[in-house]
Amino acid sequence: MPETRPLTRSMDEKFEKLFHMMAEMKAGLEGKMEAGQEEMRSGQERLEQEMRSGQERLEQVRSGQEEMKSQIQAHIESQIEEIKIHVDGCVTKIEEEVQLKPLTFDGQTSWTVFKTQFDVVSSTNGWTDFVKASQLVASLRGSAAEVLLGIPADKLTDLTNIEKALESRFRDSHLTQFYRTELKTRRQKPGESLQELATDVERLVSLAYAECPLDVPESLSAQYFVDAIRDEETQHSNRLMNAKDLKSSLAYSMKYDALRTVSKTSRHVRSMETEDHTSRERDDKFEFFFNRLEKLLNSSVAGKKNTPRRNPNMTCWKCNKKEHMQRECQAITSNHEN
């Protein structure tokens, strides 16, 4: 018993020290935890403050954007209004210019064409019959104006009477046969394109058959156009195609002409390629024979260089003749053959 007491006391002391150290460690950890929590709270507060600050800046940016958007919208609307005013002014000016543009008729041009133009202008300007009559009278020149002398003064504002007088004097009926004859004899000129030919044929048909229904000039235009084509192959192909109107005939003619041009170009290219191939073969053969001849000449020259020159003073021991040796003697060869 006396021996165990010091041991127990020693162990108690060690436990006390251990507990003391553990208490100190716990106190230190608690202090650090409190400091960490305090730091976290401080950081959280800073973060919340920054978020509030960022939110405020975002609201300011949004407010600025809305204000800028409103300014841009107002500017655009202002510009649109200015453009609209400018366009309206231009349209008004154009309309005024159209109304002020005069038409003239002197009796030397087609009355039908002038009448069509006059009707379009009067309809565009919204003229009444009274204004039409006034404008028609003002547009007459030369022999056309002389027609007014045969109209009573109280009828010079009557559109119907004025038009009848002009039509009886200048109607195109007396020119109809002339235009039809010109159509029959019309041929494509050198250098004249198919489009130009079609345009002129259409003009002549409209003058020659002005009183016919619309489908008649269309069909006749196609026929006269085909008759006027200078190239016989294109003309014959068009007849086989039998187009019903001028547009179809013109389109087909241009397509056919283009295909012929491409075909000719292709044949020319193939011909050139064939000639080029034949020329290459001829050059190859010439080069082959030339090389062979050159080799033969070189071999002959080399053979002559390697052959020793004969001694003109040597004498054959068999026939006693000079310039050859006994082994080359012809007399020996003749004796052997005999």
Does one domain contain both 118 and 165?
A: yes
In a domain, 9, yes or no: no
Q: Are residues 255 and 179 in the same domain?
A: yes
Does any domain span residue 324?
A: no
Cα–Cα distance, 212 to 218 (Å, whole number)? 10
Any idea how long the chain is?
Answer: 338
Domain that holds residue 132: 111-169
Q: Residue 293: inside a domain, yes or no?
A: no
Residues 20 and 31 in one domain: yes
As a whole number of angstroms, the distance between CA 255 and CA 263 comes to 12
pLDDT at 198: 92
Residue 188's pLDDT is: 93
Task: Report how far residue 115's alpha carbon sits from residue 132's, in angstroms, rounded to the nearest whole number.
Answer: 12
Residues 165 and 176 in one domain: no
Rounded CA gap, 257 and 255, in Å? 5
Query: Which mean pLDDT values do the consecutive 10-residue runs of the chain (338 residues) have?
Result: 65 79 80 80 83 84 83 84 78 56 78 84 88 90 88 89 86 75 92 93 84 77 92 89 87 88 63 61 68 68 52 66 67 53
Are 235 and 182 found together in one domain? Answer: yes
Whether residue 291 lies inside any domain: the answer is no
- Among 44, 73, 98, identify where a domain stops: 98
pLDDT tens-digit profile of 176-223? Answer: 788 889 999 999 999 999 999 999 999 888 888 877 777 778 888 889
Same domain, 84 and 127: no
pLDDT digits (tens, 9 = 90+) for 241-252: 888 889 999 999
Q: What is the CATH number of the domain that holds 208?
A: 1.10.1200
**C-alpha distances out from residue 150 to 138, 168, 169, Å:** 16, 12, 11
Question: Are 185 and 237 within one domain?
Answer: yes
- Which of residues 144, 169, 194 is at a domain's end? 169
Kindly state whether residue 296 falls inside one of the protein's structural domains.
Answer: no
d(CA 253, CA 243): 10
In whole angstroms, give the CA distance from residue 164 to residue 136.
Answer: 12
Residue showing tokens 């007088």 = 165
Residue 329's pLDDT is: 72
Provide the pLDDT for residue 66.
84
Does residue 121 lie within any of the structural domains?
yes
Residue at which a domain ends, from 230, 261, 292: 261
Residues 161, 187, single domain; the answer is no
Same domain for 80 and 31: yes
* pLDDT of 130: 92
Is 120 contained in some domain? yes
Residues 186, 255, single domain; the answer is: yes
Do 180 and 165 lie in a common domain?
no
Q: Which amino acid is at 34?
A: E
Domain count, the chain: 3
In a domain, 182, yes or no: yes
Residues 176 and 162 in one domain: no
